[in-house]
Amino acid sequence: MVTFEEVKKVYPGGLERRSVTALKGISFSLEPGEVVAYVGPNGAGKTTSLNILLGLLKPTSGRVTVGGRSPTEAPARAIVGYLPERPYFYEQLSAIEFLRLCGNLSGLDPAAITRRSDQLLERMGLAEAGRRRLRTFSRGMLQRLGLAQALLHDPQILVLDEPMSGLDPLGRHLAREIIAEAKKMGTTVLYSSHILADAELVADRVAVLVQGELITLAPLVELRAIQEERFELVLAPTAKVSMEQIEQRWPEGRAVGNAWVLNTDEECLQRILAQATARGARVIQVQRPQAPLEETLVRLMRRPDAKGDTV
């Protein structure tokens, strides 16, 4: 549905400014019906690449296609729904009037605009506020209306720049449901976010952009495999060795009930297992704890081969 082929974007400098390379030849593709979270530190190039995808910016070099076409072509734009990071609303309009305007710009017929507007206002919890002027809407209400306009024409591709911004927990839950529903309908969803807990709940894959370079695009399972190899070892006393003796031998651990928990790397793990077995301690469990996505991505961004600044 979407392809980036060696896309580079350089913002030229002036008399007293250096040129800035926002994208350094990124390549990736998005498949129909998948949800991809786009993450990275501020200034990584996420919004620049989204604007190129939307045809709002031209790449310095490389090629982008949307549904097999250039993103500047009308048929390509017709299949994309977009929520910008800072959406603009005509505050003198009501929610219904705003959606009618968006529907007309999308080329929908009046009956479809009315039907879809009613459906989406109800789904976004805005049905009772449909005739209120947008100047009276809260930040979260405007964000939900922005999601509604992005979905109004049933797009095949949904591009969301920070869709959870300004939403309370209920609003974030609703946004996650909307993304999941779009996926079920076969819509391709690309969204940027700093709220990584949401990515863990809805994304099929995560793209990590650092200083204009795409350092990975992988499923969550593969991303977590990148983390440093750490293990959790749980030991318990027996008739041969007491809890006190276990604590004295491995003071870096911690007590959890009547067990002693150690966190260690693979090399030390083998040594501790051999020592514990020799002393007669009981090995209850050895496991590799799953790091939260945020911890994994921060570690990934700080790898030596991830050029550029870290978060």
Q: Which of 228, 311, 212 is nearest to 268 (CA)?
A: 228
pLDDT at position 311, please? 29
Q: What is the pTM of this model?
A: 0.75
Q: What does the DSSP 8-state code read for residue 289?
A: P
Q: What does the DSSP 8-state code read for residue 134?
A: G
pLDDT at position 267, please? 80
Total Cβ atoms within 10 A of residue 253 = 19
**Average pLDDT of span 157-171:** 90
Query: What H or E segment, with its residue span, contains residue 212?
Result: none
- Residue 94 neighbours by CB under 8 Å, 6+ apart: 130, 131, 132, 133, 134
Q: What is the pLDDT of residues 166-197, one digit of tens each?
A: 888 898 999 999 999 999 999 999 999 877 77
- Residues 268, 279: Cα–Cα separation, whole Å: 16
Topology classification of domain 2-224: Rossmann fold (3.40.50)
Q: What is the pLDDT of residues 262-301, one digit of tens each?
A: 888 878 888 899 999 999 999 998 887 655 566 666 666 6
CATH for 228-287, among 3.30.420.40, 3.30.70.980, 2.30.40.10, 3.40.1390.20?
3.30.70.980
Q: How many angstroms separate the Cα of 208 from the Cα of each of 79, 122, 213, 214, 224?
A: 25, 35, 8, 6, 13
Per the CB < 8 A criterion, the answer to whether 175 and 147 are in contact is yes
β-partners of residue 285 are 234
Q: What does the DSSP 8-state code read for residue 111?
A: H
Pull the structure tokens for residue 50.
């989204």
Region at 253 (left for phi over 0; alpha for psi -120 to 50; beta for the rest): beta
Q: What is the pLDDT of residues 26-45, one digit of tens each?
A: 999 999 999 999 988 888 89
Extents of the domains making up the chain: 2-224, 228-287
Domain 2-224 shares a fold with domain 228-287: no
Q: Over 70: is that where the pLDDT of 239 sits?
A: yes
